[in-house]
Chains A and B, each alone.
Chain A
Amino acid sequence: MIQAYTILLDSLRMLRASKLFWVSMWISLLVAIVYASVGFTPTGMSVGFGLWDFDVPVIREGSAESEVFYLLLFTDVIVRFWLGWFSLVLAIISTCSIFPHFLQAGSIELALSKPLSRLRLFLMKYLGGLLFVAVQTGLFCLVAFVAIGFRVSEWNVSIFWAVPLITFAFSLIYCVGVFIGVATRSTVFALLGALLFWAVTLFAQWTEDFVYKMAYVLPEVGLSVDMQTGELQETPEDASSGIKKTYQRIQSVTKVLPKTRECTISLKRLIRFQERDSMLAGVDLGSVFAGGDADPVVKEAMQKYELRHSWFTIIGTSLIFEILVLALAARIMIRRDY
């Protein structure tokens, strides 16, 4: 217990000494303040703590849509783009040096000469790296939780699901950085490798997403893409089996890859409206602005699209990938002579 506490405390001290951690933290705080500054008036919404007012009849003080809008702002904009994207890049840059530095001659010997197994040392050090994201996301969620509570009078604790989900999404890239860092003891290789891998997985997820929409969502709402012009056209027919087959092939490839983007997006499945006991999945900002006029067919298709992957496909397969990569990295670290 003392050993685990020591390694985690050391990780926190290392983060505190990192300039990027503070840069990321300050930007997070700024984003959180901007988020908290969004409020509702009897005629619409305001930004900057009432500095700018906008008349939006659907989203006004006391309306059900205002709560959905406020939560969607959190899940679809802030979590997806700031916490799930820019903040993760900063975290990867900051943490990719942890293992290469730790494995340097003169440094690793100090830890290995203690009564502590190498596997435990590896795992604790790994968990320490995850603190970078967990701490930031945790603090961000706290501010968001208070902001949501005050703005829409609902103390929605389910938004804290963002902490494990974003940390998990980060861990999927970080584990690759750790593996390369342990194998090569080079920060540059670890960083480049992790970022490159992330780019590959994102590309795969975007492709799968796009092809799914083509194969299932558009036909369900009676649309198809004119392959000559690239424009949408109304067709009642179902999608051709060709595109469905393409989707199956793409899905078989993406299945084995970690799903960082999916993890971030799946937060909507976990956020619940306590009073109405309904979920956020299938709802987007566009449908909120449309209010009660949203097409139920489109809504259903979007819900199906957002729920198309099971938890096992998103978390389970990603976790298997992470465990395998970490097992390889741990094996290298455990068996190596220093």
Chain B
Amino acid sequence: MSDFAVDIETLRKRYSNGVEALAGVSLQVPYGSIFGLIGPNGAGKSTLVKSLLSILRPTECRGTMLGEKIGNKSILAKVGYLPEHASFPDYLTGRQVIEYAAGLANVSRAACRSRCDMLLEKVGMTEAAGRNIRTYSKGMKQRIGLAQALINDPVVVFLDEPTDGVDPEGRIDFKNMISSMRGDGRTVFVNSHLLAEVEQVADRVAILTKGRIIKQGLVEDLTRRDARYEVKFHGQMPVALLEWCHQQQMKIEGDRITCRADGPLQIQPLIDRLRAALVVIREIKEEKFSLEELFLQAVTQSREESAAAKGGTR
């Protein structure tokens, strides 16, 4: 059996109007991980998820999900999904929405009853479960959406922009709920353009732009690749030390020295020199590139490459 819950060898989607939404995407999502797919609006994130769930038909698709060929409807029994801008029938109550999703997923009534109560409690909607969904706020609808995605006890859960329209408190709850899914042994695939949120929960990320994956891997690896340290000091810096810092390609701004380093060993000489010069060290911080910086860097690089390629073609 494959180690990956989702293993896409190649996925291509070209719409009938000629727009290429996905230009041969390849990615792997290990079992039990939280995978974040990030990218600007229109990058093809939702198209990718919808292709995996047979909501739209990919032009070309080779790969497996939960060990079965992508497109096989039967695997959807083990999959949960919260679509972007989910719209539930407004004549149903919160509980009925979950029961409806359970019925469509072929969950037995007994299993549905026991899981429904548990999930309502988990998403904090027990009290409002009997109310009509049209009386819910956007955040409450998203909570019910999350519960319905989990009603069939899925192995993989796809969440498309799950915190869209949710207030800050709700976002923290969502983050905790997503983390707890990993604790339950589920694989979570999160689509989002809110990079900070993805960074907080995801183990692995892929950056998708214009239908192509331009970077993917463990969040730790991706952000560490260009790691840097920041040292804050107090007092005067001797000129000799300043010159040494410049020679070492370190950047000095006010009371702050920034240097690139792959690990703590590389900044020990700086600490030694500062101590020797009796400069007070106030703070040493390992600074990684945020996902946002990484994303912007990757997107800019991709744009430059495609511009260069176009120029070359001319």
Contacts and interface: CB of A to CB of B under 8 A. Distances in A.
Interface of A: 2-3, 5-7, 9-10, 13-14, 16-17, 101, 104-117, 335, 337-338
B282 interface: no
A14 B103 contact: no
A99 B107 CA distance: 25
A108 B79 CA distance: 16
A115 B74 contact: yes
B50 interface: yes
Nearest to B81: A113
Contact of B88 (A9, A107, A116): A107
A117 B81 contact: no
A110 B106 contact: no
Given A2-B106, A3-B103, A14-B91, A109 B74 contact: no
From DSSP, what is the main secondary structure of chain A's interface residues? helix
Interface stretch (B54-62, B225-233, B260-268): B54-62
Q: Which 5 A-B pairs have the closest CB atoms?
A: A6-B103, A17-B91, A106-B87, A337-B56, A114-B104
Contact of B76 (A2, A6, A115): A115
Contacts of B79: 113
B303 interface: no
Nearest to B55: A112
Contacts of A113: 53-55, 76, 79, 81, 83, 158
B302 interface: no
Nearest to A108: B55
A105 B53 contact: no
Interface string B62-76: 000000000001111
A107 B88 CA distance: 6
A104 B90 CA distance: 13
B87 A14 contact: no
Interface centre among A17, A110, A337 (most CB of B within 10 A): A110
Contacts of A5: 103
A272 to B, nearest CB: 41
B50 A338 contact: yes
B50 A110 contact: no
Given A10-B92, A107-B86, 8 more contacts: A2-B107, A6-B103, A7-B103, A107-B88, A109-B86, A112-B53, A338-B50, A338-B56
Given A2-B107, A3-B103, A3-B106, A115 B91 contact: no
Contacts of A17: 91
B101 interface: yes
Contacts of A16: 91
Contact of B92 (A13, A106, A116, A117): A13
A101 B314 CA distance: 48
A106 B88 CA distance: 8
Interface residues of B, number: 37
16 contacts: A2-B109, A6-B99, A6-B102, A9-B103, A104-B87, A106-B83, A110-B86, A110-B148, A112-B54, A113-B83, A114-B76, A115-B76, A116-B73, A117-B73, A337-B50, A337-B57
A266 B73 CA distance: 44
Given A109-B50, A110-B81, A116-B73, A2 B87 contact: no
Contacts of A107: 86-89
B96 interface: yes
Interface in B184-215: none
B85 interface: yes
B181 interface: no
B244 interface: no
B108 interface: yes
A114 B109 CA distance: 16
A120 to B, nearest CB: 10
B100 interface: yes
Contact of B86 (A13, A14, A106, A112): A106
Contacts of A101: 89
B173 interface: no
Contacts of B57: 335, 337
A116 to B, nearest CB: 6
B125 interface: no
Contacts of A2: 103, 106-109
Nearest to B85: A106
| Most chain A CB within a 10 A radius of its CB, from B50, B74, B148 | B50
Nearest to A104: B87
A108 B54 CA distance: 12
Contacts of A111: 104
A105 B56 CA distance: 12
Nearest to B21: A337
A105 B85 contact: yes
Nearest to A336: B56
Contacts of B87: 104-107
A337 B54 CA distance: 9
B36 to A, nearest CB: 20
A115 B106 CA distance: 8
A109 B55 contact: yes
Interface string B39-55: 00000000000100111
Interface in B1-37: 15
Nearest to A16: B91
B257 interface: no
B177 interface: no
A3 B103 CA distance: 5
B105 interface: yes
A332 to B, nearest CB: 13
A105 B160 CA distance: 13
Interface string B101-121: 111111111000000000000
Contacts of B56: 337-338
